[in-house]
Amino acid sequence: MTDMTSSVQSTFVRPAQARRDIGIKRRYAAERRFKAYGLTAILIGLFFLFVLLWTVVSKGYTAFQQTAITLPIEFSEKIIDPKNERGANPAKLMTANYPLLVRDALVKALGIDPANKPLVKQATDMVSASARTQLRDLVVANPAIIGTTATVSLLAEGNIDSANKGQIDLTVAEANRKVKDQQIEWMKKLSETGAMAKQFNTGLFTYGASSRPEASGIGVAALGSLYMMLIVLVLALPIGVAASIYLEEFAPKNRLTDLIEVNINNLAAVPSIVYGLLGLSIFINFAGMPRSAAVVGGLVLTLMTLPTIIIATRAALKAVPPSIRSAALGLGASKMQTIFHHVLPLAMPGVLTGTIIGLAHALGETAPLLLIGMVAFVVDYPGSPMDPSTALPVQIYMWANEAERAFVERTSGAIMILLIFLVVMNLGAILLRRRFERRW
């Protein structure tokens, strides 16, 4: 409207200039406005990315450190094997009362009266309950340690760890927090002597799931994810490439192939939870495969990734110029030779890029795994893809629902690890494309 009135006005006032008014100013203004919109869009995107990264990193970086209490532990024979039966019955070493060793060491280090039961309990509560297995493994691996004193670094209990990192508000009334005044005093004492210190948290990478935050890690989840990625790679890459070569190079162009193409494009957009339902009914209920196993997860993710790979591969094949095919055919190569000796090698960077992006997508997927029982608490490492395991994003989801404070940082820590994996995979895809892609 305003445009019209202004042009009408100018016609009326200065007829001579009207023909020369081609709206230069207006068009430049529009261009500037559009540029500003684009820039704003990018800035908003960057802002949210920054906020996301900031919240994750600021919450999560502490997860890579873990408080440990280093104590001289006396592996007293009286406690571990009072009747000296370990020669005849080595299983005795498995069930010995190892927490007593920790108790005695703490009582000694903190100078507590062993008869004061509540005080002793507060002291032992500072050390993770995982100390039992830690000491047991030490003794079982090396029974000669019995009767000697060795310095052992024990994990601090989750709340003590959080308090040591300043994540628990210690100013509130003692009844309202998990760390008691006496324990804070002991923490100070142990820190001064150097017995309590933060170490690099290797456990975060090696432990399986645990109800104790200090002893939980992404080990099982990472292995489960690795199994699934291998299955996806081994199945989806050959099937996807074969399907696309056939569709692109051999299949006749008719209604049926059009229908297939439409369906593949649709499948790429199907919500992933649908693949989970499919996996539950086909692989678990019909084929009788085990629940919670990485093999089922891998198969479900394969189905989910296939359309992505097929679409990327077909695009890569299409991008190879027809002159290459004609030249090969003209020199007497068969169609098969043309494809495998000339077309496919040239399309390979595109195929691999598509595969890696598909894999990265599959790595971050949780929804389909929920239905096949992989959102689970799994402690033992899976020996094979047939054993129960979880996946990295699932572990993040499960930690996010935990009540203990120490799981908050672990959730963000695990997100950082997953993000690093994804960045590395996507970088790999970009590098492959940069390095090997040919332009015509």
Binding site for other proteins (CB under 8 A): 94-95, 129, 132-133, 168-169, 172, 175-178, 209-212, 235, 239, 243, 246-247, 256, 259-260, 263-264, 267, 282-292, 295-296, 299, 302-303, 306, 370, 373, 375-380, 386-388, 398, 400-405
**Category of 23 on φ-ψ map: left (φ > 0), alpha (ψ -120 to 50) or beta:** left
Q: Which is nearer to other proteins, 260 or 329 (CB)?
A: 260
CB of residue 433 to other proteins, shortest distance in Å: 27
CB of residue 46 to other proteins, shortest distance in Å: 24
Q: Which residues pair with 200 in a beta bridge?
A: 65
Q: Which is nearer to other proteins, 282 or 422 (CB)?
A: 282
Taking residue 348's Cβ as centre, other Cβ atoms within 10 Å add up to 16
* DSSP at 143: G
* DSSP at 156: B
CB of residue 414 to other proteins, shortest distance in Å: 15
202-to-63, 214, 383 alpha-carbon distances in Å: 10, 11, 21
**Of the candidates 183, 158, 174, 192, the residue with the CA atom closest to the CA atom of residue 67:** 158
**Of the candidates 198, 314, 203, 185, the residue with the CA atom closest to the CA atom of residue 250:** 314
CB of residue 285 to other proteins, shortest distance in Å: 8
**Category of 332 on φ-ψ map: left (φ > 0), alpha (ψ -120 to 50) or beta:** left
CB of residue 227 to other proteins, shortest distance in Å: 13
CA atoms of 344 and 237, how far apart (whole Å): 13
CB of residue 175 to other proteins, shortest distance in Å: 8
Q: Which is nearer to other proteins, 118 or 322 (CB)?
A: 118
Contact status, residue 271 vs residue 304, Cβ threshold 8 Å: no
For residue 67, give the H/E element and its range: strand 65-74
CB of residue 4 to other proteins, shortest distance in Å: 46
Q: Which is nearer to other proteins, 200 or 250 (CB)?
A: 250
Tokens standing for 355? 């595969």
All residues at 6 or more sequence positions from 236 whose CB lies less than 8 Å from its CB, including other chains: 302, 305, 306, 309, 355, 358
CB of residue 326 to other proteins, shortest distance in Å: 27
Tokens standing for 175? 């009844």
Write the single-letter amino acid at 82. P
Q: Which is nearer to other proteins, 406 or 432 (CB)?
A: 406
Contact status, residue 160 vs residue 212, Cβ threshold 8 Å: no
Taking residue 313's Cβ as centre, other Cβ atoms within 10 Å add up to 27
Backbone angles phi and psi of 179, in degrees to 5: -105, 125
Q: Which is nearer to other proteins, 268 or 422 (CB)?
A: 268
For residue 4, give the H/E element and its range: helix 2-13
CB of residue 41 to other proteins, shortest distance in Å: 27
